[in-house]
Amino acid sequence: MGDYKVWRVLSLFLLVVIAARGDLSYDFYKTRCPQAEKIVMDVMVNATLSDRRIGASILRMHFHDCFVEGCDGSILIDSTSTNQAEKDFPANFPSIRGFDVIDAAKAAVEKVCPGIVSCADILAFAARDGVHLSHGPFWNIRSGRRDGRVSMFNRVPLFLPPPTSNITQLITSFAAKNLSKSDLVFLSGGHTIGFSLCSSFNSRLYNFTGRGDQDPALDAALAQTLKGQCPRPPTRVDPIVPMEKTPFKVDTKYFKGVLKRRGLFTSDSALLNDPFTKSLVIKSAADESFFLGNFIQSMIKMSELEVKTGSKGEIRKKCHVIN
């Protein structure tokens, strides 16, 4: 896990500089369910022991949740006969994994503190823990999010930037959520861990402009390697490949790879197409402390997007179904 004492100190500093949002609090469960975060961490530890990819998967789930209806656990809700939910949108299905882990964490918390801790908070805790269990930093999270009651398939593409996004589209998507260019770069740094389905970037290998060509912004040697792993579409199989060379460890290799034109997604390469975002990629590649400190700040900011507090939303009994 690594030594995270430095990052605990840094996260305390960030409590001062990051403005309060809604009714969230760092001691929201202090009296009503003080064990909540430990219970979630224990579940994540066990899940990581059996599946080293799970930390990155939960981190991605949290990002996809926050960008649509805000950080309200709407991505966890199952579709019904009358509503197709977010989790079934192609950007989420079948690539988003870990719903069973969040369900397990919720069940464990419910045994100790029934009806108190929201699924939205559990997802935020689990994403943070997944990063930490991938040899990354630990930070404090304000809690008090309530669970949303709306989850709609057709709202996902309105807000969630796809991996094919160019730099203008990325900046616009992030700005719509009051996230800056800096947040764009540091949150993209979440690609330091995890794997991707080939379908998320296959067009860069086989049909970038619709003429059967390869994306010239992708390192040619990497493209050849990926072609050996990712079949030409259409295909029944959709293999996974690591996002970068150390997919189970939070480090700066993602940024170093982007600078060498080895980012898997068009959205990764796009970070080099704006002078400001490129400068942050360069600095993050050279200075791990710079990246990690700013990653924490951007994660805290993202995890508080459009949260529901007070009387809004609900506390679901089970994360996959509205009460």
Residues with catalytic annotation? 64
**Residue 65 marked ligand-binding:** yes
203 is in an annotated binding site: no
Rounded CA-CA distance 208/223 in Å is: 12
Distance of CA 151 to the CA centre of its chain: 18
3-state SS, residue 275: helix
CA distance linking residue 315 with residue 70, whole number of Å: 15
Distances (CA, A) of 119 to 110, 124, 147, 180, 187: 11, 9, 6, 27, 22
| 3 state DSSP class of 276 | helix
How many Cα atoms sit within 13 Å of 215 on the Cβ side? 25
d(CA 270, CA 166): 6
161 appears as a binding residue in the annotation: yes
Closest CA to 297 of 140, 161, 146, 172: 140
Tell me how many degrees the CA angle 91-21-152 measures, rounded to the nearest 5: 30
Q: Is 309 annotated as a binding residue?
A: no
Question: Is 135 annotated for ligand binding?
Answer: no
Q: Residue 65 carries which DSSP code?
A: H
- For 165, phi then psi, to 5°, come to -65, 145
Q: Is 42 annotated as a binding residue?
A: no
Whether 120 contacts 187, CB under 8 Å = no
Which residue in 213, 257, 250 sits closest to 232, CA to CA?
A: 213
Cα(28)–Cα(49) distance, integer angstroms: 29
Q: Say which residue the tokens 């600078």 belong to.
A: 259
Check whether 70 is labelled as a binding-site residue.
yes
Cis peptide before 234 (omega within 30 of 0): yes
Residue 86 among known ligand-binding residues: yes
Q: Which residues are annotated as a binding site?
A: 65, 68, 70, 72, 74, 86, 161, 191-192, 246, 251
Binding site members for heme b: 191
- Which residue numbers belong to the known binding site for Ca(2+)? 65, 68, 70, 72, 74, 86, 192, 246, 251
Binding residues for substrate are 161
